[in-house]
Amino acid sequence: MPVDIGNVLHVLAHELRTPAGIAQGYLRMLMEERLADPEARRKAIEQAQKAVARVSELANEGSRLADWFDQPPDRTETIDARALIDRVVSGASDATTVLPRVDVAPAVGAVQTIDANALTNALIAVTKATARELRNTPCTIAARVQDTAAIEMW
């Protein structure tokens, strides 16, 4: 499947704007000394630091994506679909996010990819972003394999 690099860059820019704007807002409040309470200042610094860490994480993901595009087009490896989904669930779950797996269509079979680890990390990133948007609602993952050419995950 050809990649629309323009669309990828638009999504990346959109994802970077939110944490950058959050950090700017907290830093502006600190610079303008609008937070008199020491606890409020500490919280603002923590939130700005968290937002900047997210920008860094997105930049790292962008670098990994660029490495993906540099791979020879004929280089492929195979990953078991069930193992892939299990790795995604494991990698996206943390103390605050519960990701129950409900197989609407079982992910049975193998999928070809140019980089199984990069594919896993990309799906983990998408799953984490989805879980963040759902807030307190559990995130459910379902997947199915289309031949060996694709895995659909929703």
Characterize 40-61 residue by residue with b for buried, 16 or more Cβ atoms within 10 angstroms of its Cβ, and e for exposed. ebeebeeebeebbebbeebeeb
Residue 3, pLDDT above cutoff 80: no
pLDDT at 106 over 70: no
Average pLDDT of the residues of the chain: 82
Residues 64 and 118 sit within 8 Å (Cβ to Cβ):
yes
Q: What is the pLDDT of residues 79-92, one digit of tens each?
A: 888 888 888 888 88
Q: Could you tell me if 15 and 61 are in contact, meaning their C-beta atoms sit under 8 angstroms apart?
A: no
CB 116 within 8 A of CB 77: yes
pLDDT at 19 over 70: yes
CB atoms closer than 10 angstroms to residue 3 = 10
Structural contact between residues 81 and 146, judged by C-beta atoms closer than 8 angstroms: no
Which segment of 12-16, 54-58, 116-120, 141-145 scores lowest on mean pLDDT?
Answer: 141-145
Q: 5 - beta bridge partners? A: none
Report which of residues 126 and 33 the model is more confident about.
33
HEC letters along the chain? CCCCHHHHHHHHHHHHHHHHHHHHHHHHHHHCCCCCCHHHHHHHHHHHHHHHHHHHHHHHHHHHHHHHHCCCCCCCEEEEHHHHHHHHHHHHCECCECCCECCCCCCCCEEEECCHHHHHHHHHHHHHHHHHHHCCCCCCECEEEECCCEEEEC
